[in-house]
Amino acid sequence: MTLSPSPTISARTAGVRGSAIRDLLTLTARPDVISLAGGLPAADLLPRERIAAAAARALTDPAAVQYGETAGLARLREVVAAHETERGTGGARGPVLPGDVVVTSGSQQALDLLARAVLDPGDAVVVEDPGYVGALQVFQAAGAVVVPVGLDADGMRVDELADLLAGGLRPRLVHTVSSFHNPRGVTLAAERRRALAELADRHGFLVVEDDPYGLLAFDGATPAPVAAHGERVVRLGSASKVLAPALRVGWLVGPGEVTAAVELLRQGADLCGSTLTQSIAADLLGDRDWFAGHLATLRREGAARAAAFTTAVAELLPDAVGSDPTGGMFCWLEFPEGTDTTAALPRALDAGVGFVPGSAFAVGTPLPAAARCCFASHPPEVLHEAVRRLATALAVPSGRGRST
Amino acid sequence: MTLSPSPTISARTAGVRGSAIRDLLTLTARPDVISLAGGLPAADLLPRERIAAAAARALTDPAAVQYGETAGLARLREVVAAHETERGTGGARGPVLPGDVVVTSGSQQALDLLARAVLDPGDAVVVEDPGYVGALQVFQAAGAVVVPVGLDADGMRVDELADLLAGGLRPRLVHTVSSFHNPRGVTLAAERRRALAELADRHGFLVVEDDPYGLLAFDGATPAPVAAHGERVVRLGSASKVLAPALRVGWLVGPGEVTAAVELLRQGADLCGSTLTQSIAADLLGDRDWFAGHLATLRREGAARAAAFTTAVAELLPDAVGSDPTGGMFCWLEFPEGTDTTAALPRALDAGVGFVPGSAFAVGTPLPAAARCCFASHPPEVLHEAVRRLATALAVPSGRGRST
């Protein structure tokens, strides 16, 4: 979507880039298209019956339909604090307390409120390249100057960040999707997490540790959170990928000054979240045995789907180099040099498959030959068919040389 | 809540005033206190069973727990468009179409996204004085220069606004709570609605017609919306006061350029609303017979409660002048000159009653002797007891002169 410059719309809004992905979701919603485009949890694995039971239980209490506290339902803040403590978020500082948690409408709102709380126009913000589009939108809307840092198989190139800092860069925020990166699929290595937290302490910036996928490790293990290693880390979590997106429950854990500012801004942003969906989230996250079993299912199924997808890619798209997912939802494909995945997308949709071209995530480095594919949304047999269709649309035309 | 100036928090956030009302809600949540402070719908009139039935029905569809479209659930946009058409919002322009509607997380989010879409720092915004605190917070956060305009028994002093415009004021937005004003309880007269829309056309500003209470007219009638009289009106609606706050469903109807910008900003703000609660809202608002019956109950009960409250005020607080509610949720009380309702609040809480001091709503004119009381949240007998406690706390001390 592009907005024509207009006297009605503010100068800043006119500079905000719409999400190509959300526009794409409309296209890929066609029933004949297998969509690998969205970051949607698998419909067949969403715990709908358990949510219905929790809703029915919550609605026996009149408080479930009334306004709630801006910082979030007390019971949910308790459950999230316990959950983050268990994940190691508190580090040597001790347990995460309910007062350290602000519940938000998905972790996207946490990101937006955080940006509004700490950024002034012109502030520098470091992002990963390629990066999470929702974060880029937020930082653009806040008028920040976005500085890209690369990624490799161990996540953000913290050494590259250190060089930029040594060169005089003074960012206000450094954003990282620390586990099972969107879109690259990689996980920030343990030693880099420690180094990143130390750089934050030394140079006075805040790390935004955006972690919606961390619980989806196929083997159940991810390194301790960046937040375990220092105080200048704001950790964002979400129920969207482990329970259901429609709950619109995310959270922010951070220094008191930050949580207070975020809570204050949420008053004006939307007063409070839904007491009903927060009650449901507290019920499901707080039911330890059920949640452990549910996570085990998501991990087992995620691993099976990732394996089906990468096997099909190896078989049917031998020219492409795919990432090797160990958790999360995404596989990153790199096609031979000269491939233009943006140009190929209409052909792919005609062939009945959707993906997100790499260029949608590009910050500083163009990524014309890459694509993000979500393997989580479909069962193995559907993924195989999706890759077959991809191969049709992205077949190297005769006469075009290969780069390898 | 006050934030100490800090290098972590942005200069703009540090200037945002917290809502005294939301802070007060914490105090008045004490079980021994009858709260007249919140703008909370009556717990006993919230349609909890009907919501539970709608939730159970919605949850038979996997789509109800998935991500949804940023502009809102298609079915809800249809229902809201039909509902706004019936209220006359389209005026001579014809019916409101689903594409004219953006669903938001309560009308507060509509207000926030609208401000972000159209305001640049330093823009002038006209607000009513006293005014809705949630709007003031939003305009402050956007860096706007707030210009107050007075109210009388017929709502905003549109003549005062016309004088300011004649004097050279060029606001970007003019905000009005057009029906059953928060906090004053008054309704903008029909001829003023027309005049306001004409001023918007002549001077190029947008009217924000904030209308969460319009359906709560005790006799079922309010003048046609301001939006009926011109195109430069953005109309905000809400399900919070007529269904339930926990659905977090509000909406914005306005020019295409504005709805497109608001939708774009919502991508970054929180991606989308809850498909589950939007399904519930569409079910209830779309069930015409049920909704008509429910509204009739709210109106009948509202009238009975307002009557009980004003009768008790006449009997037990003879020095106070109360507004004469004809709908909505609020009665505005003015005590004799020299009364300090802010100072009296702790005494009132000790006596077991809460209210919001007039000063919380003051923009340009201090209102030390006024109070906003919500009559909607309690049945008549509880309201009588609340006024008795108010009388104890606000009794004119002997020796202090009366202003009348």
For B311, other C-beta atoms within 10 Å of its C-beta total 14
User: Are B38 and A255 in contact (CB < 8 Å)?
Assistant: no
Instruction: Give me the percent of chain B exceeding a pLDDT of 90.
Output: 86
In order, the DSSP letters of A316-350 are H-TT-EE---SBSSEEEEEPPTT--HHHHHHHHHH
Which pLDDT does position A5 carry in this prediction?
Answer: 37
Span A310-318, mean pLDDT? Answer: 97
Model pLDDT, residue B45? 94
Amino acid letter, residue A189: A
B178, B131 in Cβ contact below 8 A? no
E runs forming strands in A187-240:
206-210, 233-238
Please give the average per-residue pLDDT across B23-45, as a whole number.
83
Q: Which CATH class is domain A62-287?
A: alpha beta
Of residues A1, A46, A68, nearest to B260 (C-beta): A1
β-strand partners of A209: A176, A235
Q: Do B16 and A64 touch (CB under 8 A)?
A: no
Residue closest to B264 by CA, chosen among B66, B68, B71 = B71
CATH architecture observed for domain B48-287: 3-Layer(aba) Sandwich (3.40)
In the DSSP assignment, the letter for residue B225 is: P
pLDDT in tens, A258-282: 999 999 999 999 999 999 999 999 9
Does residue B311 have a pLDDT over 90?
A: yes
- pLDDT at residue B4, as a whole number: 36
For chain A, the average pLDDT equals: 92
The answer to which of B299-303, B363-367, B368-372 has the lowest mean pLDDT is B363-367
Q: How far apart are CA A231 and CA B232, in angstroms?
A: 48
pLDDT band at A403 (very low <50, low <70, confident <90, very high): very low
Please give the pLDDT value at position B156: 98
Q: Is B122 left (phi over 0), alpha (psi -120 to 50) or beta?
A: left
- Please judge whether B48 and A26 are an interchain contact, meaning their C-beta atoms are less than 8 angstroms apart: no
For CATH 3.40.640.10, the residue range(s) in chain A are 62-287
In which band, very low, low, confident or very high, does the pLDDT at B184 lie, cut at 50, 70 and 90?
very high
Non-local CB neighbours of A41 within 8 Å, separated by 6+ positions: A240, A241, A244, A245, A329, A376, A377, B66
A8, pLDDT greater than 80 = no
Q: Which CATH architecture has domain B11-46+291-394?
A: Alpha-Beta Complex (3.90)
pLDDT at A184 over 90: yes
Average pLDDT over residues B42-55: 95
A72 at the B interface (CB within 8 A)?
A: no
Give percent of chain A with pLDDT exceeding 90: 86
Q: In the predicted model, what is the mean pLDDT of chain B?
A: 92
Answer yes or no: is pLDDT of B13 > 80: no
H or E segment and range at residue A312:
helix A288-316
Using the beta-carbon criterion (under 8 Å), do B105 and A260 form an inter-chain contact?
no
The C-alpha atoms of residue A358 and residue A331 are separated, in whole angstroms, by 12
Residue B182 token pair: 């928060």
| pLDDT tier for residue A21 given thresholds of 50, 70 and 90 | low
Is the preceding omega at residue B98 within 30 degrees of 0, hence cis? no
pLDDT band, residue B158 (cuts 50/70/90): very high
For residue B263, which residues of chain A lie inside 8 Å, CB to CB? Answer: 1
Alpha helices in A71-171 (DSSP H): 74-87, 106-118, 133-141, 158-166
Task: Name the segment(s) of chain B with CATH classification 3.40.640.10.
Answer: 48-287
The answer to whether the Cβ–Cβ distance between B59 and A41 falls below 8 Å is: no
- pLDDT of B186 strictly over 50: yes
Whether the predicted pLDDT of B2 surpasses 80: no
CA-based nearest residue to A249, from A110, A141, A369, A384:
A110
Query: Chain B residues with CB inside 8 Å of A48's CB?
Result: 59, 62, 64-65
How many CB atoms within 10 Å of residue A192? 21
Tell me: pLDDT of A2 over 90: no
Instruction: Please tell me if residue B233 touches chain A, with a CB cutoff of 8 Å.
Output: no
Flag whether pLDDT at A6 surpasses 70.
no
Interface of A with B in 174-213 (CB under 8 A): 204, 206
Question: What three-state secondary structure class fits B7?
Answer: coil
Name the one residue in this structure whose structure tokens are 């001091």. Answer: B357
Q: What is the mean pLDDT of residues A293-307?
A: 97
Closest chain A residue to B140, measured at CA? A268
Give the mean model confidence (pLDDT) for residues B338-362: 95
Q: What is the pLDDT of residues B201-241, one digit of tens each?
A: 999 999 999 999 999 999 988 999 999 999 999 999 999 99
Distance from CA of A108 to the nearest CA of B (A): 5
Mutation target to probe the B interface, by most B beta carbons within 10 A, among A3, A10, A266 is A10
**pLDDT given for residue B244 in this prediction:** 98
What is the pLDDT, as a whole number, of residue A22?
A: 66
Q: What is the mean pLDDT of residues A112-130?
A: 96
Q: Return residue ranges of chain B for CATH 3.90.1150.10.
A: 11-46+291-394
